[in-house]
Amino acid sequence: GENVEQHPSTLSVQEGDSAVIKCTYSDSASNYFPWYKQELGKRPQLIIDIRSNVGEKKDQRIAVTLNKTAKHFSLHITETQPEDSAVYFCAPEGGQNFVFGPGTRLSVLP
Amino acid sequence: DTGVSQNPRHKITKRGQNVTFRCDPISEHNRLYWYRQTLGQGPEFLTYFQNEAQLEKSRLLSDRFSAERPKGSFSTLEIQRTEQGDSAMYLCASSLGSRAGQPQHFGDGTRLSIL
């Protein structure tokens, strides 16, 4: 089955700094690469996704980069704000694999 | 609000009892997923439906767990003879389309506590 890892598991940054979270996966059939954000006590919500035919995608302060050869993709958040504090999950998908990573807890310090 | 709806929000029951949760997906979504999430962990896949057909079931899911989606709309997840280890948040999600690689929209979950 799919093996999904995230690094780091926790990340603290100063407000205004950038944050990068990396997701590595094992299934070479994966072709869809989303990131979900889960605030404390809330539901996971999609924040950005990318497909295997694209190398990078950006949406305002958030971007995702994909390296399909090396089987990893990364979430980049620039100009971090306190409301970015949450747990972020990657969930690479291919076929009938629906595996979420273990999560990265991001804390943005004022 | 036309998002994914789950009921009940909380369920407290004694060990050994049966429980049933309901999920109403976004109306035009034909894929529906069930996950389990424990504190500090990512959502763990349980099963999913394409319309009324259950296409995949996690090997982690014991035979005490069963899910249905009889008319391809709402779904129920039943746990029989509950155990302490079943305490968790049970999340439902839905997505549009019949092919893989679509964003999943989650409900607020049902928190199950086993006494």
- Chain A residues with CB under 8 Å of B40 CB are 103
pLDDT digits (tens, 9 = 90+) for B81-92: 999 999 999 999
Distance from CA of A43 to the nearest CA of B (A): 5
- Nearest by CB to residue A102, choosing from B42, B48, B101, is B42
Q: Do A46 and B41 touch (CB under 8 A)?
A: no
Q: Is B32 on the interface with A (CB under 8 A)?
A: no
pLDDT digits (tens, 9 = 90+) for A2-22: 899 999 999 999 999 999 999
Inform me whether the pLDDT recorded for A68 exceeds 70: yes
Residue A33 scores a pLDDT above 90: yes
> What average pLDDT does chain A have?
95
* Chain B residues with beta carbon closer than 8 angstroms to that of A36: 104
Interchain pair B106, A31: CB under 8 A: no
CA B50 to the chain's CA centroid: 14
Chain A contact probe: residue of B1, B10, B34, B37 with most A CBs at under 10 A: B37
Q: What is the pLDDT of residues B46-75, one digit of tens each?
A: 999 999 999 989 987 889 999 999 988 999
Burial class (CB in 10 A: 0-12, 13-18, 19+), A82: exposed
Alpha-carbon distance values, A102 to A17, A18, B7, B42, B107 (Å):
24, 21, 26, 5, 20
Selected residue of B55, B92, B104 to mutate for chain A interface (largest A Cβ count, 10 A) = B104
pLDDT, position B94: 96
